[in-house]
Structure 1
Amino acid sequence: MKIIVPMAGRGSRLRPHSLTVPKPLIPVAGQPIVHRLVKDIAKVLKQPIEEIAFVLGDPAWFGDDVVKSLETLAKSLGAKASIYRQDLPLGTGHAIMSAKPSLSGPAVIAYADTLIRAEFDLDPKADAVIWTKQVENPEAYGVVKLNENKDIVELVEKPKTFVSDQAVIGIYYFKNVGVLKEKLQEILDENVMNGGEYQINDGIKRMMAEGKIFKTGTVDEWMDCGNKAITIETNQRMLGFLKADGNEQLVSNSATLENANIIEPCFIGDNVVLKNSTVGPFVSIGNDSVIENSTVKNSLIQTHTSIKNANLEDAMIGNHVKYDGNFTSISIGDYSILE
């Protein structure tokens, strides 16, 4: 089994946090988004992963440190890491075809901007599986249309009349991803574009037209990381799941607490110092950060950051930040928001 991860986008909706760190590498509940996504997919698949192909953007943005992080991720799952580049932002289908040498055999394609919780078996009768989530407002999503056999027969974008309540979440399984490669190559050769881009859906629709059987794989939880507010909500939900699972150590043994209180669930990274502060619930603090004389709730704070004299809630703070609530002489960069 292979996993193909297109992740070349810049994540503009998550600025300023994505100005210095590619969005898929931003930690949520203590791990980068793409790391959690790939690990959760591997759990659902319940079979060995031989290769993980990552489609990155400009090397100036997705540099050697990003590549090293992804290689470490693949190695942790016993898989080979393959690195590809998408030079131009020409759509989901174009991104997949950037990894053309890896497009053979059984594979999962997963776009690295969501997190999931799921437990299901792949339908052995299916040529492909489109992972979906039941939603209350299907008119806001791309949804699948099913026939009487529960086969997917159509993909409908933001339907004005009810089609189904199963929204497409951007994760796909192909029994032989080489078939999708053939159809996407036709799309590229014929210059078939939607919205000025080459789309995966056009390749999927050609597979359906040839009689390939598509089934749904419904996830229990689907968590977005598109902007600051929803990323904080995802951090909250993920911490709750991890606390319930009990499989991850959420508070590092190297953390130092001096007259400090942690209200679980929280993630506290290595060498974090908490002084005269109350942290939690639903707070993630990255390695080597210091929180002093503060109260922090439902927030994401990254690495090497110092927070003093603050009362924070629903906050997202990046790396190497210094924030003192008692001072007015400050330096704040582009796209920053104080509310």
Structure 2
Amino acid sequence: MLKAIILVGGPMKGTRFRPLSLELPKPLFPVAGFPIIYHHIEACSQVPGLREILVIGFYQPNEALNRFISQSQQEFQIQIRYLQEYTALGTAGGIYHFRDQILTGSPEMFFVMNADVCGDFPLCDMVQFHKEKCPDASGIILGTEATRGQSQNFGCIVENKDTHEILHYVEKPETFVSTLINCGIYLFTPEIFSTLEVTFKKNLEDNYNYCDQNCHIPGFDFQTPSKEVIRLEQDIFIPLASTKQLFVFPTSRFWSQIKSAGAAVYANRHYLTIYQRTHPERLAKNGEGQPRIIGDVFIHPTASVHPTAVLGPNVTIGRNVTVGEGVRVRETIVLEGATLQAHCCILHSIVGWHSSVGVWTRVEGTPNDPNPNKPFAKLEIPCMFSSDGRLNPSITVIGSNVQVPSEVIILNSIVLPHKDLNGCYKNQIIL
């Protein structure tokens, strides 16, 4: 029996995803028509013997999260539970805190998946790799190749090329270490809890030693971070490297992180491409009385799209969206309830929930992707801001309930929710 854990973080995270994360927890943001972690759950449901999925984070349970979990349980016929941390416990602290829940039923192995990654997850291949190549290992990390420059933004892995044992691990190194990077997808056996216990006790001892020397109340400090905070990357992987307990499973499949809104648009593109193989029925098709479709396009069944509209490539039209006459949409996510009025043009953008774009208006971002056909892990996904604090040219994001007037241009801008715009904007954050 196997289990899976999805780490969703909490409301203090996802700041780079604003203004979209102001309305909805980032893990529930729809990419290619479905919430980000829906794709994780769907991948887990296809692993034979996987019986339960535990979602761990410190979001307060709300209607959207509860409804999503209930609907996912019914669709995939798998047990899904949300376990709320009392505070941010790090990427491994929540796993250790809820160890009894994870070990209930004596699972042989369990996956751990970060919610802010997306990809064509090779979970079954990881299980097979563990059984055939490293049955005594405590953990396997999914790895992929990045460029030399990108690698320093991730956890870098030095492996034995023959056995795939991890010999050295460095999280976000200051100098170049390796182009093989950590994808944030792991497969562990219950033996990993022995290492977590050692780390927890060491943290506890270090805290008490610090308090004995520096605190008014010996043995306890209210100011230091929780003693239960454990980081998989720094506290677990670094000491496990070169002990024959940690291995890497390299993949060349699509993978990336979703840190910014721009990354969501790229992820949308690649999930739509995956649908060609896994869910061709989700992709819109050309036909009489239907809008013109170019490439991969997802249209929710409740959306109303005028037959003269032209959509694609790489477009998602959400629930109850209205697309008017002569509208052109490309490389864009249009969220629930939005209205695109006649002859507007939306390129490389995200249009927020229940927002409206006026007649003959142009909303456009500047993609930082000179070759859309190259492997996804090689794409340069820009940050929202440059090092000097200026807005980087990237996609345009229209927040929820924004009214964009007719016959204007919105270029490379971020619009916060509940705004009534009254003119053209370029390279601005509209507060």
**Is the 8 Å Cα contact of residues 399 and 418 (structure 2) preserved in structure 1?**
no
1:316 counterpart = 2:397: yes
The 3-state SS of whatever aligns with 1:83 is: strand
The 3-state SS of whatever aligns with 1:223 is: strand
Q: How many residues align?
A: 330
**Structure 1 residue 228: Cα displacement:** 2.3
Instruction: Tell me the residue number matched to 1:130.
Output: 141
Paired with 1:334 and 1:182, the residues of 2 have a C-alpha distance of 50
- Counting aligned pairs with the same residue, the percent is 20
Structure 2's unaligned 5+ residue stretches are 207-223, 284-297, 365-394, 409-414, 420-427
**Structure 1 residue 247: Cα displacement:** 4.5
**Is the 8 Å Cα contact of residues 232 and 315 (structure 1) preserved in structure 2?**
no
Instruction: Tell me the residue number matched to 1:191.
Output: 203
Paired with 1:247 and 1:207, the residues of 2 have a C-alpha distance of 44
Structure 1 window deviating more from structure 2 (302-311 vs 136-145): it is 302-311
**Structure 1 residue 210: Cα displacement:** 5.6
Instruction: Tell me the residue number matched to 1:28.
Output: 31
**Structure 1 residue 296: Cα displacement:** 1.0
The residue identity in structure 2 corresponding to 1:129 is: I
**Structure 1 residue 180: Cα displacement:** 1.9
Structure 1 window deviating more from structure 2 (196-205 vs 50-59): it is 196-205
Q: Are the structure 2 counterparts of residues 135 and 334 from structure 1 closer, same or farther at C-alpha, using a change threshold of 3 Å?
A: farther
Paired with 2:407 and 2:332, the residues of 1 have a C-alpha distance of 22
Deviations 1:152-206 (A, max 9, x none): 12212234555432100111011x2x2222321221222179x965211323445
Alignment of 1:91-130 (within 5 A): 91-104=90-103, 105=107, 106-119=109-122, 121-122=125-126, 123=129, 124=131, 125-126=133-134, 127=137, 128-130=139-141
Instruction: Tell me the residue number matched to 1:179.
Output: 191
- Equivalent of 1:252 in 282, 300, 307: 300
**Is the 8 Å Cα contact of residues 180 and 204 (structure 1) preserved in structure 2?**
no
**Is the 8 Å Cα contact of residues 255 and 268 (structure 1) preserved in structure 2?**
yes
- Equivalent of 1:143 in 152, 156, 170: 156
1:269 counterpart = 2:318: yes
Paired with 1:243 and 1:4, the residues of 2 have a C-alpha distance of 28
The 3-state SS of whatever aligns with 1:242 is: helix
Paired with 2:198 and 2:66, the residues of 1 have a C-alpha distance of 31
The 3-state SS of whatever aligns with 2:9 is: coil
**Is the 8 Å Cα contact of residues 327 and 340 (structure 2) preserved in structure 1?**
no
Paired with 1:28 and 1:143, the residues of 2 have a C-alpha distance of 27
Paired with 1:98 and 1:238, the residues of 2 have a C-alpha distance of 33
The residue identity in structure 2 corresponding to 1:236 is: R
**Is the 8 Å Cα contact of residues 92 and 231 (structure 2) preserved in structure 1?**
yes
**Structure 1 residue 117: Cα displacement:** 1.8
Instruction: Tell me the residue number matched to 1:47.
Output: 48
1:303 counterpart = 2:353: yes
**Is the 8 Å Cα contact of residues 232 and 316 (structure 1) preserved in structure 2?**
no
Paired with 1:244 and 1:211, the residues of 2 have a C-alpha distance of 37
Structure 1 window deviating more from structure 2 (106-115 vs 157-166): it is 157-166
- Equivalent of 1:285 in 334, 340, 346: 334
The 3-state SS of whatever aligns with 2:19 is: coil
Q: Are the structure 2 counterparts of residues 247 and 172 from structure 1 closer, same or farther at C-alpha, using a change threshold of 3 Å?
A: farther
1:164 counterpart = 2:178: yes
Instruction: Tell me the residue number matched to 1:214.
Output: 247
**Is the 8 Å Cα contact of residues 30 and 285 (structure 1) preserved in structure 2?**
no
TM-score, normalising length: structure 1: 0.84
TM-score, normalising length: structure 2: 0.68
Paired with 2:262 and 2:248, the residues of 1 have a C-alpha distance of 32
**Is the 8 Å Cα contact of residues 27 and 302 (structure 1) preserved in structure 2?**
no
**Is the 8 Å Cα contact of residues 398 and 417 (structure 2) preserved in structure 1?**
no
**Is the 8 Å Cα contact of residues 118 and 219 (structure 1) preserved in structure 2?**
no
Structure 1's unaligned 5+ residue stretches are none
Structure 1 window deviating more from structure 2 (181-190 vs 232-241): it is 232-241
Q: Are the structure 2 counterparts of residues 102 and 204 from structure 1 closer, same or farther at C-alpha, using a change threshold of 3 Å?
A: farther
Larger RCO of the pair (alpha carbons < 8 Å, separation 6+): 1
Instruction: Tell me the residue number matched to 1:73.
Output: 72
Paired with 1:213 and 1:2, the residues of 2 have a C-alpha distance of 19
Instruction: Tell me the residue number matched to 2:412.
Output: none
Q: Are the structure 2 counterparts of residues 180 and 86 from structure 1 closer, same or farther at C-alpha, using a change threshold of 3 Å?
A: same
**Structure 1 residue 7: Cα displacement:** 0.8
Instruction: Tell me the residue number matched to 1:12.
Output: 15
Paired with 2:23 and 2:317, the residues of 1 have a C-alpha distance of 22
Q: Are the structure 2 counterparts of residues 91 and 71 from structure 1 closer, same or farther at C-alpha, using a change threshold of 3 Å?
A: same
The residue identity in structure 2 corresponding to 1:251 is: I
